[in-house]
C-alpha cells in the first residue's frame, strides 16, 4: 500500500502542543493501579489487562476522549477508538496510539505515552483550528503486554487478522479466568467488529525501553522495525530424591537441566554464530522447592530475539537440538516444550520514517534510526498498513517494566511534537 506523495509546496502548520497537559494526564493515569514497590521504594503501576484497574483506566481515557469531542467506539476485543473527522470522512484515517495495560511492576510511560500523545495531538488540531483532509483516530489496544493471558499484542493482532477472535476469547489467566468472561465482567466487550479496515497509516510514539538514545544524547529516534521474537516455556520432569542420601549418578535432577539450558542460551549468544541474537531465561521455578530435595520438576522460559529471521531460525534449531540431548545426559528426564509466542522481524515503512525524520528536524531535534528490541502493537499494524514508530529517550539506562521507568517532560514533549507534525503530514 503506497502513501500519498508528500506535497512539498504546501505550507506546514506547526501545532501548538501542550506538554504540560500530556504530563498531567500521564500522572493521573499512573495513579490508577498505583502501588508501593518494595524493591525500588517507588510508586509503581499494576494495571494488568481486564482487571478492575484496567477498567478504571479505560473509563478515564474515554472521558478524556469524549471531552476532546471524539466519536468513541469499542470493538469486540475491547480495543478503544476515538475518531476525529476530516474534510473527507470517506478517506481512510490516520491512526495513532498504543496501549494502557501494564505489567505487574510498571512505570507511567510504557504504552500510555503513545495513547495520551495522540490524544493531545487531536486537542491541538482543535485548538489551532486545523481541519485535516483525512480522519484521525486515537486507539488504545487491549492486552499488549501479554502478562495476564499469555499472548502479547493480543488486541492489535486480532484486529489485524493474525489471530482469531475465538482464539483470544478462549485464553485463560493463571487463575483459570477466560479472556471473554473478564472482558464482559469489566463491561468492555464492544459491538464494533474487531477486524479493522486498513487505515491510511499507523504511527506509534513509545518510550524506547532501552539505553541507546540516552547514550547518543538524543531525545527522539526513528524506529526502522521490530526484531523477531520467540518465547518458549520449557518444563522438565525429573525424579524427587533426598539431597543427602541419593548418589549424584542416580539422580534425575530437573533443576540441573534448567541450569544447563540457561548456560546454553548464554553460550549461543556469546558464540556470535547467530548474529545479533539476544537470549534471556526470565523465569525459573522448581518443585518442591525445598533445600534438601532434588527437584522433580522445573519450569523455565526462554526469550530469544534477533533482527534477522534466518539467524533466529538457526538459533531455535540449536536450542531444540540441545533440549533433545538432556534426557541422554540424565536418563529418565522428560522435556516438554510449549510455544508461547513467535513473531518475525517486521520492517517499518521507509516513507513514514522519512516523514518522522523531517518532522523532528523541522522542530530542531536530531534523530537516529534504530531497531526496536521489544514487541509493539505497531508490528501488527504493519501487516495491513504503512507503519512506523517514534522512540522517546528513557532515563536510568532506559529501564522499563519497572517503577524506575522515566522520561523527562522535555523528552516527552519532543516525542509529542514529532508525533503531531507526523500525523499532520499524513492526514493533510
Same domain, 195 and 52: yes
Same domain, 332 and 365: no
Query: Tens place of pLDDT for every residue, the chain, 428 residues?
Result: 567 655 544 446 899 999 999 999 999 999 999 999 999 999 999 999 999 999 999 999 999 999 999 999 999 999 999 999 999 999 999 999 999 999 999 999 999 999 999 999 999 999 999 999 999 999 999 999 999 998 999 999 999 999 999 999 999 999 999 999 999 999 999 999 999 999 999 999 999 999 999 999 999 999 999 999 999 999 999 999 999 999 999 999 999 999 999 999 999 999 999 999 999 999 999 999 999 999 999 999 999 999 999 999 999 999 999 999 999 999 999 999 999 888 899 999 999 999 999 999 999 999 999 999 999 999 999 999 999 999 999 999 999 999 999 999 999 999 999 999 999 999 99
Q: Is 99 annotated as a binding residue?
A: yes
The reported pLDDT for the residue numbered 56 is 99
The reported pLDDT for the residue numbered 352 is 99
For residue 5, being part of any structural domain is answered with no
Picking from 340, 360, 392, the residue at the C-terminal end of a domain is 340
For residue 406, being part of any structural domain is answered with yes
Is it true that the peptide bond before 288 is cis, omega within 30 degrees of 0? yes
Residue 258, SS3 per DSSP = helix
For residue 10, being part of any structural domain is answered with no
Same domain, 350 and 286: no
**Can you give the residue range of the structural domain that contains 308?**
228-340
Same domain, 287 and 354: no
Same domain, 311 and 356: no
For residue 355, being part of any structural domain is answered with yes
Angle between helices 52-67 and 112-127 (to 10 degrees): 10
Q: Quick one: cell of 217? A: 544524547
> How many angstroms separate the CA atoms of 112 and 406, rounded?
12
Q: How far is CA 357 from CA 169, 362, 381, 391, 416, in A?
A: 39, 9, 20, 12, 14
For residue 289, being part of any structural domain is answered with yes
Same domain, 359 and 409: yes
Same domain, 213 and 308: no
- Contact by Cβ (8 Å): 98, 377: yes
In the chain the first and final C-alpha atoms are separated, in Å, by 18
The reported pLDDT for the residue numbered 13 is 80
For residue 4, being part of any structural domain is answered with no
Same domain, 102 and 238: no
Q: How many structural domains does the chain have?
A: 2
Q: Is 11 annotated as a binding residue?
A: no
For residue 265, being part of any structural domain is answered with yes
Same domain, 320 and 264: yes
- Ramachandran category for residue 394: left, alpha or beta (phi over 0 → left; psi -120 to 50 → alpha): beta
The reported pLDDT for the residue numbered 11 is 44
Looking only at the bridges linking them, the beta strands covering 201-207 and 387-392 are parallel
Nearest to 336 by CA among 304, 297, 305: 297
Question: Which CATH number is 255's domain given?
Answer: 3.30.70.360
Q: Is 206 annotated as a binding residue?
A: yes
Picking from 309, 340, 371, the residue at the C-terminal end of a domain is 340
Same domain, 26 and 172: yes
Picking from 340, 366, 393, the residue at the C-terminal end of a domain is 340
pTM of the model: 0.88
Angle between helices 19-30 and 52-67 (to 10 degrees): 160
Same domain, 30 and 111: yes
- Contact by Cβ (8 Å): 180, 80: no
Same domain, 169 and 201: yes
CA angle 169, 174, 176 (to 5 degrees): 55
Look at the block and give the residue holding cell 522515566. Answer: 406
For residue 2, being part of any structural domain is answered with no
Amino acid at each position: 500500500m503506497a502513501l500519498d506523495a508528500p506535497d512539498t509546496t504546501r505550507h506546514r502548520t506547526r501545532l501548538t502542543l501542550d506538554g504540560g497537559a500530556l504530563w498531567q494526564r500521564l500522572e493521573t493515569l499512573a495513579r490508577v493501579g498505583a502501588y508501593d514497590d518494595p524493591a525500588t521504594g517507588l510508586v509503581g503501576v499494576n494495571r494488568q489487562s481486564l482487571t478492575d484497574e484496567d477498567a478504571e483506566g479505560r473509563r478515564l481515557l474515554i472521558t478524556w476522549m469524549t471531552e476532546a469531542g471524539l466519536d468513541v467506539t469499542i470493538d469486540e476485543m475491547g480495543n478503544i477508538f476515538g475518531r476525529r473527522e476530516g474534510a473527507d470522512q470517506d478517506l481512510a484515517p490516520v491512526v495513532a496510539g498504543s496501549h494502557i495495560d501494564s505489567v505487574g511492576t510498571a512505570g507511567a510511560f510504557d504504552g500510555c505515552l503513545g495513547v495520551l500523545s495522540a490524544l493531545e495531538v487531536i486537542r491541538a488540531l482543535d485548538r489551532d483550528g486545523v481541519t485535516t483532509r483525512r480522519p484521525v483516530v486515537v486507539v488504545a489496544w487491549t492486552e499488549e503486554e501479554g502478562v495476564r493471558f499469555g499472548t502479547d499484542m493480543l488486541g492489535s493482532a486480532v484486529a489485524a487478522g493474525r489471530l482469531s477472535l475465538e482464539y483470544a476469547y478462549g485464553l485463560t489467566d493463571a487463575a483459570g479466568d477466560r479472556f471473554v468472561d473478564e472482558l464482559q465482567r469489566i463491561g468492555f466487550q464492544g459491538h464494533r467488529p474487531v477486524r479493522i479496515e486498513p487505515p491510511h497509516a499507523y504511527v506509534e510514539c513509545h518510550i524506547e525501553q532501552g539505553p541507546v538514545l540516552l547514550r547518543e544524547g538524543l531525545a527522539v529516534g526513528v524506529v526502522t522495525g521490530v526484531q523477531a521474537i520467540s518465547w518458549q516455556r520449557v518444563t522438565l520432569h525429573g525424579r524427587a530424591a533426598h539431597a543427602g542420601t541419593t548418589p549424584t549418578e542416580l539422580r534425575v535432577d530437573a533443576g540441573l537441566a534448567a541450569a544447563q539450558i540457561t548456560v546454553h542460551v548464554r553460550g549461543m549468544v556469546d558464540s556470535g554464530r547467530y548474529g545479533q541474537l539476544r537470549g534471556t531465561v526470565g523465569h525459573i521455578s522448581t518443585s518442591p522447592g525445598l533445600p534438601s530435595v532434588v527437584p522433580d520438576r522445573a519450569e523455565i522460559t526462554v526469550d530469544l530475539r534477533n533482527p534477522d529471521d534466518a539467524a533466529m531460525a538457526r538459533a531455535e534449531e540449536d536450542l531444540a537440538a540441545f533440549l533433545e540431548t538432556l534426557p541422554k545426559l540424565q536418563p529418565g528426564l522428560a522435556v516438554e516444550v510449549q510455544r508461547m509466542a513467535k513473531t518475525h522481524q517486521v520492517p517499518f515503512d521507509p516513507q513514514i520514517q522519512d516523514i518522522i525524520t523531517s518532522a523532528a528536524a523541522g522542530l530542531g531535534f536530531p534523530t537516529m534510526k534504530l531497531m526496536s528490541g521489544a514487541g509493539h502493537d505497531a508490528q501488527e499494524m504493519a501487516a495491513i498498513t504503512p507503519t512506523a514508530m517514534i522512540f522517546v529517550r528513557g532515563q536510568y539506562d532506559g529501564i522499563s517494566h519497572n517503577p524506575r521507568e522515566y522520561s523527562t517532560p522535555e523528552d516527552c514533549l519532543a516525542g509529542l511534537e514529532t508525533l503531531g507534525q507526523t500525523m499532520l503530514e499524513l492526514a493533510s
